[in-house]
Amino acid sequence: MGSTCLSRRNPLRRRYLPQTELLQSRITPSVTPAFDGATGILTITGDELDNVVDVAAVNGTATVSWEQVNADTGETETVTSDPFAGVQQINVDLQDGNDTLNIDISGKANLTVNIDMPPPGGGGGTGGAPGAGDCMTPPPEPAPPATLGNGDDNYTITAAGVAKGQTLNLNVGAGEGEDGSDNVTMELGNIGQDATVNISADLGGGDNDATISAGAVSRRATLDISVTADLGDASTDVPGDDSVSISLGTINRDVDVSVNATLGAGSDDFTMTTGAVGRDTSIDIAANAGVDTLAEGQTDSDNVDIGIGLTDRDSDVSIAADTGAAQDNIDVSTVGVGRGATLGLTLDSGAEADNVTADLGNIDRDAGVTIDASLGDGENEFALTAGSIGRDATFDATLNGGADIDNVDTTIGAIARGVDLNLGGDLGAGDDTLDMGFTGTVSSLQTEFNIAFLGGDGEGDAATLDAGAFGSLLNPDLGGFETLPTIP
């Protein structure tokens, strides 16, 4: 009988073969763009790190580029989104960090840009980036509105111009307690006929710079600029030294320009210049660069410098400057005031030693000039200069000083027939000096002169008068002056 043998087969031993597979590049996200096609809102959200973002918006189509760190290589890479078509509004919130944002705008599409002013409810939508498909993760719910963050931020908006009938809204926000030193630059190019530009910039605390410029402003355009700083809770905000510069080119007829700058505490500088101003144009400027009461150890020396080009017929220019307490400088000038145009100046330099200058150029016929200057307490210097005053024009200047020594110097050129000239004020306490000079020819036909100054309570008040061609036409009322001029 044969035996049965059960043979065992050794199972095959499975060998492990090592393999390599390609991994996708790991890029640490820092910026997230998201677009809502239904509303036309493009939302760009950063993080607490230093974000660098570039946005190009051309005729309502926008692309976003930003820098990100590759987690594998540690190198910084630039990522660019797919184009977003139909963009009507761009909301940017880069949060904390030292951020850099550049927005380049061209074309004719209406556009609103909100920087660090996310709307309630947050953004949403879809976006695109290389290798990410057509959909990107919607941004997180935004932080409370208005925060430039605690970093030192640089924001630049450049427009190739604002087209005829186009509306451009630019808003930059900052919240209470923000102490970064921020730089905001807006270069708008020429502003077209019937266009509307609205600019609002809240710089928060810290030492901030804002520069806004435009080329020629065409007929019937509207330009509204508002800049604020250091307006939060004094217990949380860090008062900073702020600098605001606004430059406009030639302004055509029927244009409406409004500028309001409130810079709060700190030693601030406000500068504004314009080219020639067209017929029937309205310009309203309010520059408040100081506070009335200083905290212990706080400085608040402010400078306001406003220069307006030659104003054409029937234009209206109004300038108000208030520099609050401390040693301040106010300098206002115009190339000239056109026929039938009006110019109103309200100048308040506050307490301590201040320098105020108004240089008005020639004043054409039928024009109206009104000046109300308050120098406050302290040793102040005020200089008023006007060229010739044309037929049937009116010129009213009230110059008030305060305690301590005030030095007032007025110089006026030729005066035509029918002019109504009024100079006066109360120089207050202190040993004040008043120097009046009239340097041109004078017409006595239907011309009215009224000069009345009070020297105040000082014991050494002195007034001098260079009557020029006025001769006996002048009979100034100079009460309280111990030294009086000789009237020819």
User: Does residue 210 lie within any of the structural domains?
Assistant: yes
Amino acid at 431: D
Whole-angstrom distance, CA of residue 242 vs CA of residue 228: 10
The answer to whether the beta carbons of residues 316 and 291 sit under 8 Å apart is no
Closest of 293, 431, 304, 410 to residue 355, by C-alpha: 304
**In this structure, are 73 and 113 located in the same domain?**
yes
The answer to whether the beta carbons of residues 65 and 78 sit under 8 Å apart is yes
Q: CA 376, 382, 388 angle in degrees (round to 5)? A: 135
Residue 301 burial (10 A CB sphere; 0-12, 13-18, 19+) = buried
Closest of 143, 203, 195 to residue 174, by C-alpha: 203
Which of these three, 100, 130, 145, is where a domain ends? 145
At residue 422, the pLDDT reads 94
DSSP 472: G
Secondary structure E strands in 135-190 = 154-159, 167-172, 183-187
At residue 94, the pLDDT reads 87
**In this structure, are 317 and 391 located in the same domain?**
yes
**In this structure, are 333 and 213 located in the same domain?**
yes
Domain that holds residue 123: 25-84+109-145
**In this structure, are 186 and 324 located in the same domain?**
yes
221 phi and psi, to 5 degrees?
Answer: -80, 160
User: Does residue 3 lie within any of the structural domains?
Assistant: no
Strands 243-248 and 477-479 come out as unpaired
Secondary structure E strands in 254-328 = 256-262, 269-273, 282-288, 303-308, 316-322
**In this structure, are 287 and 156 located in the same domain?**
yes
Closest of 415, 413, 383 to residue 399, by C-alpha: 383
At residue 22, the pLDDT reads 45
Per residue in 415-438, pLDDT (tens digit) is 999 999 999 999 888 888 999 998
Q: What is the pTM of this model?
A: 0.86
Strands 32-36 and 27-28 come out as unpaired
**In this structure, are 201 and 137 located in the same domain?**
no
Whole-angstrom distance, CA of residue 169 vs CA of residue 146: 16
User: Does residue 9 lie within any of the structural domains?
Assistant: no
Letter string b/e over residues 451-471, b meaning 16 or more CB atoms within 10 A of that residue's CB: bebbbbebeebbbebebbebe
The SS3 of residue 470 is: helix
User: Does residue 486 lie within any of the structural domains?
Assistant: no
**In this structure, are 103 and 159 located in the same domain?**
yes
Q: Which residues of the chain have pLDDT under 50?
A: 1-9, 11-13, 16, 19-25, 118-148, 175-177, 232-237
**In this structure, are 46 and 155 located in the same domain?**
no
**In this structure, are 59 and 163 located in the same domain?**
no
Whole-angstrom distance, CA of residue 413 vs CA of residue 364: 12
User: Does residue 384 lie within any of the structural domains?
Assistant: yes
Whole-angstrom distance, CA of residue 414 vs CA of residue 400: 25
Residue 78 burial (10 A CB sphere; 0-12, 13-18, 19+) = exposed
The SS3 of residue 139 is: coil
Residues 6+ apart with CB under 8 A from 246: 212, 213, 225, 259, 271, 272, 273
CA pseudo-torsion sign 128, 133, 137, 138: positive
- Per-residue DSSP letters for 188-207? ---B-TT-EEEEEEE--SSS
**First CA to last CA across the chain, in angstroms?**
163
User: Does residue 19 lie within any of the structural domains?
Assistant: no
**In this structure, are 68 and 141 located in the same domain?**
yes
At residue 136, the pLDDT reads 36
Per residue in 363-420, pLDDT (tens digit) is 999 999 999 999 888 888 999 999 999 999 999 999 998 888 889 999 999 999 999 9
Whole-angstrom distance, CA of residue 396 vs CA of residue 460: 27
**In this structure, are 230 and 244 located in the same domain?**
yes
User: Does residue 182 lie within any of the structural domains?
Assistant: yes
**In this structure, are 127 and 242 located in the same domain?**
no
User: Does residue 5 lie within any of the structural domains?
Assistant: no
The SS3 of residue 277 is: strand
Q: In degrees to the nearest 10, what's the CA dihedral of 247, 252, 258, 263?
A: 10
Number of domains in the chain: 2
